Structure 1
Amino acid sequence: MEKQPEDQLDLRTQWKIAGTFFGIFVVIFLAWALGIFSSEPTKAERDAAAYRGDCENQITGLVAAQGFVRDTLRAPATAEFGVLGYDGVAVTVLPDCRYSVRSFVDSQNGFGAMIRTRFDATVSLDRDRSIWTLESLELAER
């Protein structure tokens, strides 16, 4: 049986359709491979995440306050600070990238004896310049 010209036209049409679908598939695959369809966070989302990391992390505030307290000690190398979860250690996140920290440090005094000093500090972070500022510090030896 010999093919009719109509059958050949149908076969050509079928190949065109198959080629079109294949081309579309290739374009979609390349777009996916190049990351066009990835869900990259927007700048606003990245900024919000950075703010949360800088300004809502209790450990960040605690470590900043400890640095200021360390600067007041006679023997800073001997300092052993309380950590979050210990009795008497609390960090409160305040507005505008500020923290209120209540904690303690055990360190040697001028005579070499280990003493515990409780402290209350308020620290703030200037995010633009990445500089911590000590707003207030109260020390109380026991």
Structure 2
Amino acid sequence: MRHLSLLLSLLALGACAKADPCADTGIAKDQALFASQNFVKRELKAPGSAEFPTRFDAEGVSVITMVQCEFSVRAWADAQNSFGALIRTSYWARVRANGSDYTLLSLDITD
């Protein structure tokens, strides 16, 4: 009985250790924000110069939990353009969580 109790405790602890990527929590929203940033980097002229907000609740950032593990992300990136000038680019992305991976559903980038 004692071993069963210990086993159940360990299983419960393991289940809590991983964040549900589909949950409406700060951790899930931050993960969706970071995933969207990776998709945006692919579109920038100088992705190495990019600076992004670090939290889903930062100024100018909105992460909304949609249905079926989808997130709507509105955020920005400060990055160099082709002339080397640092500009702020706003974007809207819709991403879907697939375990620890994310799929880009749509991306709209404006300068």
Q: How high is the TM-score relative to the length of structure 1?
A: 0.64
Greater share of strand residues, 1 or 2? 2
Matches within 5 A, 1:66-105: 66-83=37-54, 84-105=56-77
Q: What's the CA shift for 1:96? A: 1.0
Larger radius of gyration, structure 1 or 2?
1
Distance 2:36 2:78 in 1: 15
1:32-84, CA deviations, whole angstroms, 9 ceiling, x for partnerless residues? 3xx22234347xx94x985x522121011001100000100010000001232
Greater share of helix residues, 1 or 2? 1
Which letter does structure 2 place at the counterpart of 1:81? F
Distance 1:102 1:121 in 2: 7
Q: What's the CA shift for 1:88? A: 1.0
Distance 1:60 1:138 in 2: 19
What is the number of residues matched between the two proteins? Answer: 103
Structure 1 runs (4+) greater than 3 angstroms displaced: 39-42
- 2:88 maps to what in 1? 116
1:90-131, CA deviations, whole angstroms, 9 ceiling, x for partnerless residues? 11111211110000000000000000000000001233xx54
Relative contact order higher in (CA < 8 Å, ≥ 6 apart): 2
Q: How high is the TM-score relative to the length of structure 2?
A: 0.80
Structure 2: gaps (5+ residues): none
The RMSD of aligned alpha carbons is 2.3
